[in-house]
């Protein structure tokens, strides 16, 4: 027994979202039946206009409302330092941390052969074009510290070396170790080994 058509449509839409199962989708749809129509219309409008009202930055591919995103438009940000992130949410996490003064490049994912995602499916050609343009002095690779993220970081490094630009551009990878507030006792072995490797002298 499925729900009636108008309700089922909403359930199906929710179920297509990542991390929303059939039971949560049904609960959300039936919850919305008790919400004022005005709020439903507002929700619907926000969804319908989400892509219409946004643009990808022509330089870094961050989400914005104009041709260039707020970060790229900001004249106080150093254009010589570029932090390479997987997506706009990762960029936002760095912005929230409020300490980075360079700009970004949003790859739009990571290299993942199992999902059939190669370098040309990402904004890697565009990154290489920015690198070739010559303004960049440091590339900070901030892809996630998992298999695909590391592979993407290695690919980018190799690519820039192949282009013969590794002397002009410093390529760095975000630090590895224990996150703030963590417990040595509960940290996994790999994290501990990485923390030992990247130890620094007490000042």
Which helix H or strand E contains 171, and what residues bound it?
strand 170-173
The label of the residue with tokens 């070739």 reads 132
Least separation in angstroms between CB 126 and its own copies = 17
Q: Is there binding between residue 44 and its own copies (CB under 8 A)? A: yes
Q: Is there binding between residue 126 and its own copies (CB under 8 A)? A: no
Provide the CA 50 distance to its chain's centre, in angstroms. 18
Which of 15, 32, 174, 187 is close enough to bind its own copies by CB under 8 A? Answer: 32
Size of the site for its own copies (CB under 8 A): 51
Question: Residue 177: which of 199, 162, 149, 202 has the closest Cα?
Answer: 199
Q: Is there binding between residue 115 and its own copies (CB under 8 A)? A: no
Asked whether the beta carbons of 121 and 143 are under 8 A apart, the reply is no
Q: Is there binding between residue 199 and its own copies (CB under 8 A)? A: no
Instruction: Give the list of residues 6+ apart from residue 80 with CB closer than 8 angstroms, or none.
Output: 102, 135, 136, 137, 138
Least separation in angstroms between CB 202 and its own copies = 33
Q: Is there binding between residue 43 and its own copies (CB under 8 A)? A: yes
Least separation in angstroms between CB 117 and its own copies = 13
Q: Is there binding between residue 163 and its own copies (CB under 8 A)? A: no
Q: What's the maximum distance between 2 C-alpha atoms anywhere in the chain?
A: 68
Torsion angle, CA of 98/99/100/106, rounded to 10 degrees? Answer: -30
Is the Cβ of residue 89 or residue 182 nearer to its own copies in the bound state? 89
- Taking CB under 8 A as the binding criterion, the range among 48-56, 76-84, 148-156, 162-170 that sits at the site for its own copies is 48-56
Is the Cβ of residue 180 or residue 200 nearer to its own copies in the bound state? 180
Do β-strands 55-56 and 63-64 pair in parallel, antiparallel, or remain unpaired?
antiparallel
């Amino acid at each position: 027994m499925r729900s009636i058509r108008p309700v089922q449509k909403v359930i199906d839409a929710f179920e297509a979202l990542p991390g929303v199962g059939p039971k949560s989708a049904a609960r959300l749809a039936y919850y919305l039946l008790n919400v004022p129509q005005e709020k439903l219309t507002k929700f619907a409008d926000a969804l319908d206009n989400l892509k219409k009202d946004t643009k990808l930055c022509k330089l870094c591919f961050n989400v914005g409302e104009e041709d260039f995103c707020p970060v790229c438009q900001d004249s106080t940000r150093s254009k010589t330092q570029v932090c390479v992130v997987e997506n706009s949410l990762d960029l936002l996490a760095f912005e929230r941390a409020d300490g980075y003064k360079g700009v970004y490049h949003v790859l739009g994912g990571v290299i993942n052969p199992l999902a059939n995602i190669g370098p040309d499916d990402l904004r890697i050609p565009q990154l290489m074009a920015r690198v070739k343009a010559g303004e960049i002095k440091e590339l900070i690779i901030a892809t996630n510290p998992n298999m695909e993220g590391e592979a993407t970081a290695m690919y980018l490094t190799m690519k820039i070396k192949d282009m013969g630009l590794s002397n002009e551009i410093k390529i760095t990878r975000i630090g590895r170790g224990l996150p703030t507030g963590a417990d040595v006792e509960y940290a996994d072995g790999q994290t501990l080994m990485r923390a030992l490797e990247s130890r620094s002298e007490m000042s």
